[in-house]
């Protein structure tokens, strides 16, 4: 009923708030004997960390992870792995306006409507600080699926899309936007700068590709790999849409255009001539790359005044000060990767549980 856990066999629970002393995750169901150290987890957290460029929030969090349990002499023991990240740069005074009135688009009103009481400092549990814990858990998941390579990058920001013909994998880690198109990354600097200077914010679309997923992972019907992934991605803060493969565009194609034609391969496995399905058919992986996109809304905490109501239900106006991401989609890319890893690790173990390999 409290919904702080995700996964079936490889299951994790996150805990903590934006302005508490620390946050973290407990990962249960991880197989024993896998090499795992804090140094394996830290690089993924560093990718999501705030304050690394002028295009993200200026909150300075080192996001140093500590493994508190479940690992002995650099290997997982098969017992719960507890991961902790300290919060060191909280400024609760920044949030006095959020205590009194609700930020439209944020979770403030909905949390009060449900719980009648909320930790308003930095959004409390609804803050995307929580996603640091997912990224740490995702690093553990990667140890379970070494055969899979996962990549997430931005394909659109503020309505400005990349040029697919200029797609360069090597560009993704060389600019602050996880953008595979160098010219688009240049344009996006101006878009984000303008948004921030004008007290506004912009949305983004993150694409994620997982290569090396064997045909057979996944399940039919009520646990379709599509639905597991959609659920995982929609659970990320500010995500308002998920597409798998061609997604909504598939509805505009004919049957023959949308087919992924198959030819015989050398090892008995098919060669696919297209991947409109995004690597999943019938809820089960086909062995093609898994491809999905998530749409992230613009940050709701903005300096531009917005009409709202206060806690007494009276008309009010809110300008959200404090430190915020002008485009939450940028730092969401590592979170999308983590959720992909967490779902696939779970699917691998579920597949082993039913099929035995």
Ligand X SMILES: Cc1cc2nc3c(=O)[nH]c(=O)nc-3n(C[C@H](O)[C@H](O)[C@H](O)COP(=O)(O)O)c2cc1C
Sites of contact with ligand X (CB under 6 A): 57, 106-107, 126-128, 131, 236-238, 299-301, 324-325, 328, 331-332, 335
d(CA 155, CA 177): 10
Phi, psi of 8 (to 5 degrees): -110, -65
298 is in an annotated binding site: yes
Instruction: For ligand X, give the closer residue by CB, 58 or 79.
Output: 58
Phi, psi of 23 (to 5 degrees): -140, 170
Instruction: For ligand X, give the closer residue by CB, 90 or 300.
Output: 300
CB 144 within 8 A of CB 349: yes
300 is in an annotated binding site: yes
At its nearest, how many Å lie between ligand X and the CB of residue 213? Answer: 24
Instruction: For ligand X, give the closer residue by CB, 245 or 298.
Output: 298
At its nearest, how many Å lie between ligand X and the CB of residue 226? Answer: 20
At its nearest, how many Å lie between ligand X and the CB of residue 131? Answer: 5
69 is in an annotated binding site: no
At its nearest, how many Å lie between ligand X and the CB of residue 295? Answer: 11
237 is in an annotated binding site: yes
At its nearest, how many Å lie between ligand X and the CB of residue 265? Answer: 39
- 3-class secondary structure per residue, 257-326: HHCCCEEECCCCCEEECCCCCCCEECCEECCCCEEEEEEECCCCCCCCCEEEEECCCCEEEECCCCCCCC
Instruction: For ligand X, give the closer residue by CB, 286 or 300.
Output: 300
At its nearest, how many Å lie between ligand X and the CB of residue 296? Answer: 7
Instruction: For ligand X, give the closer residue by CB, 70 or 123.
Output: 123
CB 272 within 8 A of CB 260: yes
d(CA 173, CA 164): 17
301 is in an annotated binding site: yes
75 is in an annotated binding site: no
Instruction: For ligand X, give the closer residue by CB, 15 or 167.
Output: 15
Instruction: For ligand X, give the closer residue by CB, 135 or 209.
Output: 135
At its nearest, how many Å lie between ligand X and the CB of residue 155? Answer: 16
Say which residues have a Cβ less than 8 Å from residue 232's Cβ, sequence separation at least 6: 6, 339, 340, 342, 343
CB 245 within 8 A of CB 275: yes
* Number of Cβ within a 10 Å radius of residue 19: 20
d(CA 6, CA 272): 32
CA distances from 9 to 233, 236, 354 (A): 19, 21, 12
Closest-CA residue to 85 (of 129, 148, 119, 123): 129
Closest-CA residue to 331 (of 121, 160, 177): 177
At its nearest, how many Å lie between ligand X and the CB of residue 76? Answer: 27
Three-class DSSP category at 28: strand
200 is in an annotated binding site: no
Burial class (CB in 10 A: 0-12, 13-18, 19+), 348: buried
126 is in an annotated binding site: yes
Instruction: For ligand X, give the closer residue by CB, 120 or 272.
Output: 120
227 is in an annotated binding site: no
- Residues forming a β-bridge with 292: 208, 244
127 is in an annotated binding site: yes
Query: Known binding site for NADP(+): residues?
Result: 48, 54
Query: Known binding site: residues?
Result: 48, 54, 125-127, 237-238, 282, 297-301, 323
Query: Known binding site for FMN: residues?
Result: 125-127, 237-238, 282, 297-301, 323
């Amino acid at each position: 009923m409290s919904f702080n856990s995700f996964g079936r066999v490889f299951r994790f629970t996150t805990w903590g708030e934006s302005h508490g002393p620390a946050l973290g995750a407990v990962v249960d169901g991880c197989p024993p004997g896998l090499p795992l150290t804090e140094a394996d987890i830290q690089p993924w957290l560093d990718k999501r960390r705030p304050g690394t460029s002028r295009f993200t929030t200026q909150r300075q969090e080192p996001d140093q992870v500590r493994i508190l349990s479940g690992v002995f002499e650099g290997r997982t023991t098969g017992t719960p792995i507890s991961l902790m990240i300290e919060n060191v740069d909280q400024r609760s005074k920044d949030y006095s306006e959020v205590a009194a009135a609700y930020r439209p688009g944020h979770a403030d009103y909905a949390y009060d409507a449900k719980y009648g009481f909320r930790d308003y400092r930095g959004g409390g549990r609804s803050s995307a600080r929580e996603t640091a814990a997912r990224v740490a858990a995702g690093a553990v998941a990667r140890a379970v699926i070494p055969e899979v390579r996962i990549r997430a990058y931005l394909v659109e920001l503020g309505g400005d899309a990349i040029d697919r013909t200029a797609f360069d994998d090597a560009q993704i880690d060389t600019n602050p936007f996880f953008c595979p198109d160098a010219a688009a990354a240049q344009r996006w600097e101006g878009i984000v700068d303008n948004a921030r200077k004008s007290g506004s914010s912009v949305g983004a679309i993150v694409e994620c590709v997982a290569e090396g997923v064997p045909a057979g992972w996944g399940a039919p019907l009520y646990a379709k790999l599509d639905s597991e992934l959609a659920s995982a991605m929609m659970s990320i803060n500010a995500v308002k849409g998920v597409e798998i493969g061609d997604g909504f565009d598939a509805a505009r194609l004919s049957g023959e255009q949308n087919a992924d034609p198959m030819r015989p391969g050398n090892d008995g496995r098919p060669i696919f001539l297209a991947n409109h399905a995004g690597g999943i058919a019938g809820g089960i992986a086909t062995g093609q790359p898994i491809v999905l996109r998530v749409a992230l809304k613009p940050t709701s905490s903005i300096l531009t005044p917005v009409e709202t109501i206060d806690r007494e239900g009276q008309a009010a106006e809110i300008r959200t000060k404090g430190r915020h991401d002008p485009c939450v989609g940028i730092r969401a890319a590592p979170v999308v990767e983590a959720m992909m890893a967490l779902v696939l690790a779970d699917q691998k173990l579920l597949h082993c549980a039913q099929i035995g390999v």
